[in-house]
Amino acid sequence: MYKTILVTLDGTSTDRAIIEHVKLLAKMAKSRVVLLHVADGWAARTFGSDAVGAEVTEDMAYLEKVKAEFLAVEVEAETELAYGEPAAEIVKWVQRGNCDLIAMSTHGHRFIADLFLGATATRVRHGVNVPVLLLKAK
């Protein structure tokens, strides 16, 4: 059904909802999982893949930690670190044809907050042609 599931992570507790859901889904569907985080701090936005520093080091360590969780339940997983504006980078990654499902947790903001904070999930949903699974974090 889903050969490759892209799981977008923002490095917050919000991620737990989608991680736990996709562990079960990927195991059941025998899917490969790609864990994507977009580093969006000043260095990442300015220097892209040449960025170095605590943010990049912490982001890579977080991705590896989550990857280990998937491997522990026998789900094939790999990590990707992108740099820049999250919605734009997620859409670019998907447009390369690398997945057939995107799985994201949402913060559950409402109208006014979305205007000011952005709505990554909404922007991604409108920018791709693959199904998007959204889970609201508790």
List the Cα angle 17/90/3 in 5-degree steps: 70
Domain containing 37 — which CATH number? Answer: 3.40.50.620
- Give yes or no for residue 84 having a pLDDT over 80: yes
**25 burial level (CB within 10 Å; 0-12, 13-18, 19+):** buried
Which tokens sit at 42? 């000043």
- State residue 109's pLDDT score: 53
For 13-22, write each residue's pLDDT tens digit: 889 999 999 9
What range defines the domain where residue 56 resides?
Answer: 4-136
Listed range (23-32, 33-42, 47-56, 65-74) with the worst mean pLDDT: 47-56
Distance, CA of 44 to CA of 24 (rounded, Å): 32
Report pTM.
0.85
Question: What is the count of structural domains for the chain?
Answer: 1
For 111-130, write each residue's pLDDT tens digit: 444 444 447 877 788 778 89
Listed range (34-43, 70-79, 102-111, 127-136) with the worst mean pLDDT: 102-111
